[in-house]
Amino acid sequence: MEIALIIIVSYLLGSIPSGLIVGKAFYGIDIREHGSGNLGGTNTFRTLGKKAGMIVTAADILKGTLASALPIMFGVDGQIDPLIAGMIAVVGHMYPVFANFKGGKAVATSGGVLLACAPVMFLVMVVVFLLSLYITKFVSLSSIIASIVAVIYAVIAKEPLLIIVVSLLSLFVIYRHRANIKRIINKTEPKIKWM
């Protein structure tokens, strides 16, 4: 019973459309109608500015962290690993029931899962992301590079479940950025201007 509840709550946590809520509640804007149309932090930054972008990114990270903590909170982490609960939240973030199953690109929420389950890996990913962002000015490319580095880190750590989950999360990130990859190849992907 607890495991089923954790799965449901994890998905629902992931489904909370932070960008949509912040945009509509504080700016009167549906960010799905602006920029890339995505509900994640990047489009929020571009559409609503730095403050809203940081709030949405933090909220999306928190979704993954909270979902990963559920098995421990329910005392059943021996039956369902926190990584699995976190991954379910990432699926909820990508395909949210509260936003017609059209959500974000899995980056921040995946980061939140790692923050809870592998904090050192999370810090490494943040550093790699920021370095890549500084060099390339592409948020999408930096997200993909950070996800690939996470897989390499997991392989070096030699933890089977971590390797599997991180590999899946990385595939999610790459798949959700396929349009961005095409734009990078076509040299039409927008670059950030604040770094």
- Statement: residue 183 has pLDDT above 90: yes
The pLDDT score that the predictor gives to residue 169 is 97
3-state SS track over the chain: CHHHHHHHHHHHHHHCCHHHHHHHHHHCCCHHHCCCCCCCHHHHHHHHCHHHHHHHHHHHHHHHHHHHHHHHHCCCCCCCCHHHHHHHHHHHHHCCHHHCCCCCCCHHHHHHHHHHHCHHHHHHHHHHHHHHHHHHCCHHHHHHHHHHHHHHHHHHHCCHHHHHHHHHHHHHHHHHCHHHHHHHHCCCCCCCCCC
What is the average pLDDT score of the chain?
Answer: 94
- Statement: residue 123 has pLDDT above 90: yes
- Statement: residue 25 has pLDDT above 80: yes
Residues 131-166: pLDDT tens digits? 999 999 999 999 999 999 999 999 999 999 999 999
The pLDDT score that the predictor gives to residue 107 is 96
- pLDDT class for 17, splitting at 50, 70, 90? very high
- Statement: residue 194 has pLDDT above 80: no
Q: Percent of the chain at pLDDT above 90?
A: 86
